[in-house]
Amino acid sequence: MSAGEFCLDLRVYIEDTDAGGIVYYVNYLKFMERARTELMRSLGFGKKYIFNHDLMFVVRDVKVQYLRPATLDDELVATAEIRGLRGASMVMHQRVRRGDQALAEGEVTIACVDRVGLRPRRMPPDMVARLRQVRVQ
């Protein structure tokens, strides 16, 4: 774990797996989404804040490498680190691991958009200031 890395504990349930008991590939993206959401919530930017500012965050780009399989009942950790920050977007490095073993890792670019028109918009200044404090250099 590095400074600035947010960690979310997870467990693999039957609904996360395929018929062979292995986590279905798209569920790693769901685990990463949960880590991003909880990171933002931990910084004071939960859904209430986001909706009150009429903005949304959408995935613009995602790149994932699947390294090892997770299986039913595994205890996992999903991580999120802010690696890049611009006025209307951020880049997060994310990982799903079991203990010290990386199972999947990737880079996700998130865009800030206006909730009504879905057009790109700058993040509020207080949000940018707080995100800069936790951004990994």
What does the pLDDT look like over 26-61, one tens digit per residue?
999 999 999 999 999 999 999 999 999 999 999 999
| Domain 6-134 part of CATH 3.10.129.10 | yes
From 18, 54, 73, 114, the catalytic residue: 18
Report the share of the chain in percent with pLDDT over 90. 94
Determine contact, residues 36/78, Cβ cutoff 8 Å. Answer: no
Domains of the chain, by residue range, sit at 6-134
Cα 70 to Cα 25: distance, rounded to the nearest angstrom: 10
What pTM was computed for the model?
0.93
In the annotation, is 74 catalytic? no
